[in-house]
């Protein structure tokens, strides 16, 4: 008789690779429930009622001092062109 004739079919849960395949989706389902719990437990804060006025005030502050945006503008221009900005000479007292 051959060896395969003596083997008895085992149930699927006794094979380790089946559990390895099922572990991936099971972890995703658990992570989904954890995310749902965190989303329900910690709601997003409410945006202030006067957000538009605050934005206008910030814009006024930035327009009052044009040098406050200089580093950001230089970085943007450098990223777009690849050319480093020329150094400005420092004022002598």
Tokens of 65: 């001092």
- Considering only residues 2 and 37, tell me which one the structure prediction assigns the higher pLDDT: 37
* pLDDT band at residue 88 using 50, 70 and 90 as cut-offs: low
| Cβ–Cβ < 8 Å for 50, 56 | no
Q: Among 22, 1, 2, which residue's Cα sits nearest to residue 13?
A: 22
Helix runs in the chain, H state only: 3-6, 16-41, 51-64, 70-81
- Please report the pLDDT score of residue 21 as a whole number: 93
Question: Looking at residues 15-28, what average pLDDT do you find?
Answer: 93
At residue 1, does pLDDT exceed 60? no
**pLDDT tens profile 36-59:** 999 999 888 877 888 888 888 887
- Please report the pLDDT score of residue 58 as a whole number: 80
């Amino acid at each position: 008789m051959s060896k395969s004739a003596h083997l008895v079919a085992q149930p699927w849960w006794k094979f380790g690779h089946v559990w390895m395949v099922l572990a991936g989706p099971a972890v995703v389902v658990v992570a989904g429930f954890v995310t749902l719990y965190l989303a329900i437990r910690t709601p997003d804060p409410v945006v202030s009622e006067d957000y538009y006025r605050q934005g206008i005030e910030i814009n006024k502050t930035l327009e009052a001092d044009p040098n406050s945006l200089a580093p950001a503008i230089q970085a943007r221009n450098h990223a777009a062109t690849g050319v480093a900005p020329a150094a400005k000479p420092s004022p002598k007292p």
